[in-house]
């Protein structure tokens, strides 16, 4: 069976790996050049997070988003613009942001994250595939009493779902990670969470795929499709037509435009995120953390320290908004008082576009209109964490097996 995968990010490469493990002949096409690291698979916080079982579309997020709209340095921002797609996405987001949706989505996200964590452990055991997997957990750091109470509720909910969570006061937080000075009231420790180096993980995947004979065509953009009835026959690319028996569309934030010629409805907005990495930080934590009020993720990666955050809904573009970056930088000394905003002078700013569905859940499964097309996209901020399990499930779908996890809520045509 010949499989053509569109998208060379973490979802695409993981899908290629697990399809190849099943004996399929796999080709990957990617719009960026091989040496590029601008995709959101590379500069993210590198977290594997079973603790993140609440989708982005949750109660209170609409009101919080409207409040943050007026602060140019806030963690969440929607740039107003005349766009039917944006209005439609916003309406669907509002409809999904309710307790019932969170209750239904929570067990699915939990199962996906835990299964993906197990996949990461298996991949880390492969020869010459050290991507720095650290299984020390994650801590949600809270500076405000109100936020600490909200996180206590989340910890209780996590435990009810079988996810370990421990409430800690400021002294307990300090004992948990004495390598960094913190100014917090307390937090929640999730021992099942992990972190790794995204760049090293992606490089390791490429080595594995190349060793297994997977062809990766870099700097190759999909320009259209050829189809006959219920079959996709080929994709038109800037390097000519490419044919296959089955096709997987995992083009990230570009998936809606790529699938437009196939008359697919894939509501999605690009959520821009930023990160800055200090190569010689003043202090180096041993556990990854999230500044809860600031929505900033902090990850030690070897001897460096990465800070990442913001969700900027501003369309598919490569512009960097310095106000969003300032919001990240200014938050650091508030939680880590030994750090200074000046530490980030002359530090390169990375940015990437996360593919955000309206309900905060990925699109994963076969498209009913075509017998040989699978969608695997829309993971928003969870792309790295859910990459391996998405790849494994995609391999199961391509092989005609029943998915090992119920994918009903992830139906790629739930908005068709």
Token look-up 């700097």 returns 219
Q: How confident is the model at residue 269 (pLDDT cuts 50, 70, 90)?
A: very high
Strands 166-169 and 296-301: unpaired
- Which residues partner with 137 through β-bridges? none
Tokens representing 187?
């937090």
C-alpha to C-alpha distance for 40 and 252, rounded to whole angstroms = 9
Residue 180: what pLDDT? 98
pLDDT digits (tens, 9 = 90+) for 182-205: 999 999 999 999 999 999 999 999
Residue carrying the six token digits 């405000």: 144
Contact 389, 116 (CB under 8 A): yes
Q: Report CA-CA distances (Å) from 246 to 22, 26, 253, 281.
A: 14, 10, 21, 47
Mean of pLDDT values over 324-349? 96
pLDDT score at 10: 97
Q: Which domains does the chain have, with CATH numbers?
A: 2-41+200-265+360-410 (3.50.50.60), 47-195+269-356 (3.30.9.10)
> What predicted TM-score, i.e. pTM, was given to this entire model?
0.96
The predicted-structure confidence for 380-406, as pLDDT tens digits, reads as follows 999 999 999 999 999 999 999 999 999
pLDDT of residue 80: 80
Tokens found for residue 219:
């700097």
pLDDT band of 168, cuts 50, 70, 90: very high
* CA-CA-CA-CA torsion sign (120, 121, 127, 129): positive
CB 395 within 8 A of CB 22: yes
Q: Which of 13, 44, 65, 97 lies closest to 381, judged by CA? A: 44
Answer for the pair 335, 184: CB distance below 8 angstroms, yes or no.
yes
pLDDT over 90 percentage in the chain: 87
Judge whether residue 36 has pLDDT over 80. Answer: no
Asked if residue 416 has pLDDT above 90, the reply is no
* CA–CA dist 215, 26 (Å, integer): 7
Average pLDDT over residues 326-340: 97
Facing residues of 134 across strands? 195
77-95 pLDDT, tens per residue?
Answer: 888 888 899 999 999 999 9
Give the pLDDT of residue 185. 97
How high is the pLDDT of residue 152?
Answer: 96
Of 350, 198, 343, residue with least CA distance to 281? 343
Give 223's contacts (C-beta < 8 A, 6+ positions apart). 236, 237, 238
Residue 61 has pLDDT above 90, yes or no: no
Q: Residue 350 above 80 pLDDT?
A: yes
Is residue 370 over pLDDT 90?
yes
Reported as a pLDDT band with limits 50, 70 and 90, residue 69 is confident
**129: number of CA atoms within 13 Å, CB side?**
17
Q: How far apart are CA 200 and CA 129, in angstroms?
A: 8
> What CA–CA distance (Å, rounded) separates 220 from 242?
11
The mean of the pLDDT values for the chain is 95
Q: How many CB atoms lie within 10 A of CB 416?
A: 13
The residue among 69, 65, 58 whose CA lies nearest residue 153 is 58
| Contact between 170 and 195 (Cβ < 8 Å) | no
Kindly give, in sequence order, each residue whose CB lies less than 8 Å from that of residue 383, ignoring residues fewer than 6 positions away. Answer: 9, 10, 11, 40, 41, 44, 252, 354, 355
Q: How many CB atoms lie within 10 A of CB 245?
A: 14
Contacts of 51 (CB under 8 A, 6+ apart): 138, 140, 158, 163, 165, 190, 192, 193
- Per-residue pLDDT tens digits for 93-107: 999 999 999 999 999
Looking at residue 353, what is its pLDDT? 94
SS3 35: coil
CA distance 234 to 240: 10
Nearest 5 degrees, angle CA 147-CA 148-CA 152? 115
Helix ranges restricted to H, 346-412: 383-398
Q: In 3-state terms, the chain is what percent helix, strand and coil (to 5)?
A: 35, 25, 40
Residues in the chain, total: 416
Nearest to 138 by CA among 68, 190, 72: 190
User: Contact 386/362 with Cβ under 8 angstroms?
Assistant: yes
pLDDT at 192: 97
């Amino acid at each position: 069976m010949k499989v053509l995968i569109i998208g060379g990010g973490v979802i695409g490469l993981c899908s290629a790996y697990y399809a190849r493990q099943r004996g399929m002949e796999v080709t990957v096409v990617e719009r960026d050049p091989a040496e590029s690291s601008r995709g959101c698979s590379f500069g993210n916080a590198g977290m594997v997070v079973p603790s993140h079982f609440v989708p982005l579309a949750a109660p209170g997020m609409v009101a919080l988003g409207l409040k943050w709209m007026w602060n140019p340095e806030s963690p969440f921002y929607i740039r107003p613009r005349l766009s039917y797609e944006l209005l439609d996405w916003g309406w669907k987001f509002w409809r999904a942001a309710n307790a019932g949706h969170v209750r239904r989505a929570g067990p699915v996200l939990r199962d996906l994250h835990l299964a993906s964590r197990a996949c990461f452990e298996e991949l880390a055991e492969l020869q010459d595939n050290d991507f720095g997997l650290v299984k020390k957990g994650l801590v949600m750091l809270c500076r405000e009493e109100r936020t600490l109470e909200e996180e206590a509720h989340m910890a209780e909910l996590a435990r009810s779902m079988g996810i370990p969570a421990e409430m800690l006061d400021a002294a307990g937080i300090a004992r948990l990670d004495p390598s960094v000075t913190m100014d917090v009231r307390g937090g929640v420790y999730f021992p099942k969470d992990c972190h790794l180096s995204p760049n090293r993980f992606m490089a390791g995947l490429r080595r594995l795929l190349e060793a297994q004979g997977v062809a990766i065509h870099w700097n190759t953009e999909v320009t259209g499709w050829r189809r006959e009835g219920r079959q996709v026959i080929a994709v038109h690319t800037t390097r000519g037509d490419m044919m296959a028996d089955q096709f997987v569309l995992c083009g990230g934030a570009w998936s809606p435009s790529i699938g437009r010629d196939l008359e697919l409805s894939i509501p999605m907005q690009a959520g821009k995120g930023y990160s800055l990495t200090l190569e010689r930080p003043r202090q180096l934590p041993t556990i990854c953390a999230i500044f809860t009020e600031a929505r900033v993720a902090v990850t030690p990666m070897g001897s460096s320290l990465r800070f990442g955050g913001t969700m900027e809904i501003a369309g598919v573009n490569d512009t960097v908004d310095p106000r969003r970056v300032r919001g990240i930088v200014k938050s650091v000394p508030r939680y880590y008082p030994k750090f200074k905003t000046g530490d980030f002078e002359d530090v390169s700013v990375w940015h990437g576009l996360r593919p955000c569905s309206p309900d905060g859940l990925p699109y994963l499964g076969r498209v009913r209109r075509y017998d040989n097309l699978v969608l695997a996209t829309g993971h928003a901020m969870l792309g790295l964490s859910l990459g391996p399990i998405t790849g494994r499930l995609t391999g199961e779908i391509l092989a005609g097996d029943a998915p090992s996890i119920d994918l009903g809520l992830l139906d790629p045509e739930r908005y068709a």
